[in-house]
Amino acid sequence: MKLGVCYYPEQNPEELWHLDAQAMRELGLKIVRIGDFAWFKMEPKNEQFEWEWLDRVVNILQNEGIQVVLSTPTSAPPSWMINQHPEILPVAENGISKNFGSRRHYCPNNPAFQDFTKRIVTQLALRYGKHPAIIGWQVDNEFGAQNSVRCYCDRCVKKFRDWLIDRYKTLEDLNNAWGTIFWSQLYSNWGEIYPPNLTVATPNPSQVLDYHRFASDSFIKFQKLQVDILRENIENQMITHNPEFDQFELDTHKLGVDLDFLSWNSSPTGQAEKLTKRFYAPWETVPEFSYDVGDPYITGFIHAWVRGAKKEPFWIMQQQVGQTNWGEINTGIRAGTVRLWTWHAVASGADTVIYFRWRASRFAQENYQSGLLKHDGSPDIGFKEIANLLPESPVLQQLKEEPLNSPVAILTRFDDLWAIKIQPHRKDYEYLRTIFGYYRALTELGINVDLVPANTDLSDYRLVIAPLMYIVDQDITDHLEAYVARGGTLLFGTRSGSKNESNIMVNEPLPGLLRALVGGTISEWQALPAGVCFSLRSEIPGLTGEAGFWTEAIEPDNNEIVNVLVRYLGGPHSGKAALTEHDFGAGNVFYLGFYPNHDQLKALLKFFVQSVRCEGILDLPDGVIVIPRGNHRIAFNFTRNEKTFVMDDQVVTLPPRDIKFFLRDWS
């Protein structure tokens, strides 16, 4: 288990480099990440490379016994490049080109920028690809940050047409897939197709989804351009990337394919502020947690998303150590917080934690971002926290080596995420909110859960949940049928099977291709306004209340044996099934026909995990997380108050912002 720090030597006087490296070593840091914003320093003029400064930095760190992760600097193209090739700048959805002066100011499809990228990455790889101090590479930095995934420049227009030709082959197939007969949108020439921006009314949702796919694929292709160069020139060095998790506009499942593992940048207080409105419904009560530690369910959700993309350990490439600078209210933190975050990351599957950053910047956009050192060079709270944390490193290492096994998987898919965002049909119907609700409820029950791509091998899971399997094709259907037929248990949520891969409604009774699994059809469905709810009669222990927001009536097929567990007692679905169970092969399939509130969801999931004989079910108070690793458990209190709960028939008391370990062997 290694701890490290992000370092920006180019932003500090050279006389500090030795002092900084020595202090890092004395603090116990083992890894330093450098280079992500240093393109101008590496190449101050076109084809004029300056490596001596970087050689000195790497050698200084190596002499202190510190390993280096080197970043390719492509997230911040230098001014001379933009001056020579202004067409590199991306074009916003409003058709106006963005300007130089910040970061992520490039179009990944621009051929000039691709050439500059090939050259700088090749030079870096040739010089450092076999350097003994360099243990790995971070490609670029934070794909997707600042809403930078989708560009609408002329080059992207052409590339989008090429992408469509590759996908559909003929205009007839494209017109059929998009349903362009509607509103007389039929195309007779590929050159007639443009990105779905600047339309008078809403654009075609099939076209919008394809543009989301195309834009995401463009960055995946741009990343592969760099990865391929690195792979040809490095030895015994890993390659990773740290995508941004805010808008989820980049398919990180596909992004991870070419990498050794995924990383992410964890800023719990800022991410709680940004994502709370997206992850919690307006009518929900946000659970208790201390404002200066962030929401542990949101932080844990992204930990699980990153780990699940490849079902592999991941890195925290930038771990918050104090105040952030990009929120609306950038809170400070208190003693114990960095330790809490570090343990939470490791317990959730992080192999390495890199703190952001060594020195606080005195200038530019991030001068309010805390570092381990303050602006005057004195230790800040994060520095002191790490010093106190280091004696626990052997236990962290022991924990990291324990298996992180999850009996439950939640299926995730970017096509579903984007398609629901394009046509939610009901205000506040959010894909991520739906997925998060299931994750949070399982976490509150003390159950480890993996968030995995829909095509993941599911054979090791006792329960697989598809809360919103909106877009379905035959491959997904076959995959799920095989899992259930072998004895698996599968739960579908509302709107499953509604659309095909072109984002158009299926031309068969809902849930479309999933009908054989469900053993019935959706005879009726309604989006309900606030305050309109229908009574339920339930066979599920603890499931009470009414159904609102979104309801579907399930009609079992005549030739199938379907067990009805919940029925509607009032409203237009009165007497119809609201939750069914259907035997399929050696397994069984549940279909949940209403959108449950949080209490209902916890009752349902408790029933499901008990039915598949999951062990260690808990009833945890708000803000308390318990993560099993092997036969061990780690309990976290993310609140400002002491918390008490029962585990293994014993009362556990947790102080605020603290951790308790339940380990077999402390040696």
**pLDDT of amino acid 664:** 56
For residue 87, what is the DSSP state?
Answer: G
Q: Among 401, 423, 445, give the residue marking a domain's end.
A: 401
Give the helix, strand, coil percentages of the chain, each rounded to 5: 35, 20, 40
CA separation for the pair 146, 467 (Å, rounded)? 29
Q: What is the CATH number of the domain that holds 247?
A: 3.20.20.80
The model's pLDDT over 519-569, given as tens digits with 9 standing for 90+, comes to: 999 999 999 999 999 999 999 999 999 999 999 999 999 999 999 999 999
The closest alpha carbon to 316, from 637, 552, 1, 25, belongs to: 1
Please indicate, yes or no, if residue 169 is contained in any of the structural domains: no
CATH code of 505's domain: 3.40.50.880
Q: Is the pLDDT of residue 666 over 70?
A: no
667 pLDDT higher than 50 = no
DSSP 109: T
Q: Using 50, 70 and 90 to split pLDDT, how confident is the model at 92?
A: very high
For Cα atoms 375, 379, 385, give the angle at the middle one, nearest 5 degrees: 130
Per-residue pLDDT of 153-181, as tens digits, reads 999 999 999 999 999 999 999 999 999 99
Are 456 and 479 found together in one domain? yes
Mean pLDDT of 31-57: 98
Residue at 655 is within a domain: yes
Average pLDDT score over residue span 385-402: 90
Average pLDDT over residues 590-607: 98
241 with 381, same domain: the answer is yes
Would 20 be classed as within a structural domain?
yes
Same domain, 420 and 556: yes
What whole-number distance in Å separates Cα of residue 309 and Cα of residue 494?
Answer: 24
Q: What is the pLDDT of residues 47-78, one digit of tens each?
A: 999 999 999 999 999 999 999 999 999 999 99
Looking at the 3D structure of the chain, how many domains does it have? 3
Q: Is 319 inside any structural domain?
A: yes
Q: Which residues contact 440 (CB under 8 A, 6 or more apart)?
A: 287, 297, 301, 598
Beta-bridge partners for 556: 520
Q: What is the residue-averaged pLDDT of the chain?
A: 96
The pLDDT of residue 631: 84
Does residue 37 lie within any of the structural domains?
yes
Q: Are residues 142 and 18 in the same domain?
A: yes
Q: Is 595 helix (H, G, I), strand (E, B) or coil?
A: strand
pLDDT above 80 for 94: yes
Residue 177 near residue 503 (C-beta atoms within 8 A): no
Residue pair 21/60 in contact by the 8 Å Cβ criterion: yes
Give the domain extent around 468: 408-611
For 630-647, the pLDDT digits (tens) are: 888 999 999 999 999 999
Residues 478 and 558 in one domain: yes
**Contact criterion met (CB below 8 Å) for 412 and 436:** no
Q: If you average pLDDT over residues 194-209, what whole number do you get?
A: 98
What is the average pLDDT across 313-323? Answer: 97
On the question of pLDDT at 663 being above 90, the answer is no
Question: Are 254 and 386 in the same domain?
Answer: yes
Classify residue 621 as exposed, middle or buried by CB count within 10 Å of its CB (0-12, 13-18, 19+).
middle
Mean pLDDT for 455-469 is 97
Burial annotation 397-409 (CB, 10 A radius, 16+ → b, else e): ebbbebebebbbb
Q: Where are the beta strands (DSSP E) in 98-215?
A: 134-138
488, 512, 570, 581: which is closest to 540 by C-alpha?
581
Could you tell me the two tokens for 17?
A: 């480099």
Length of the chain equals: 667
Q: 547: which strand partners?
A: 534
- Dist. CA 131–CA 550, nearest whole Å: 58
Q: Is residue 298 over pLDDT 70?
A: yes
Q: Which of 349, 378, 401 is the last residue of a domain?
A: 401
Answer yes or no: do 634 and 500 share one domain. no
C-alpha 501/C-alpha 135 separation (Å) is: 41
Q: Clarify whether residues 481 and 555 are in a common domain.
A: yes
pLDDT-derived band at 289 (thresholds 50, 70, 90) equals: very high
- Does residue 24 sit in the same domain as residue 7? yes
Between CA 611 and CA 624 the distance in angstroms is 25
Instruction: Give mean pLDDT, residues 377-393.
Output: 94
Residues 360 and 465 in one domain: no
Closest CA to 547 of 509, 590, 599: 599
Cα–Cα distance, 617 to 628 (Å, whole number): 11
Whether 11 contacts 49, CB under 8 Å = no
Confidence (pLDDT) at 648? 87
Between CA 385 and CA 291 the distance in angstroms is 18
Answer left, alpha or beta for residue 533, where phi above 0 means left and psi between -120 and 50 means alpha: beta
> What are residue 350's DSSP bridge partners?
314
Q: Report the 10 Å Cβ neighbour count for 156.
A: 23
Residues 18 and 54 in one domain: yes
With a CB cutoff of 8 Å and minimum separation 6, the contacts of 654 are: 624, 635, 636, 637, 642, 643, 644, 645, 660
In a domain, 328, yes or no: yes
Whether residue 11 lies inside any domain: the answer is yes
Q: Are residues 595 and 651 in the same domain?
A: no
Where does a domain end: 344, 372, 401?
401
Name the strand (E) or helix (H) holding 647.
strand 643-647
In a domain, 483, yes or no: yes
- Token pair of 581, please? 């169970």
Nearest to 484 by CA among 450, 461, 509: 461
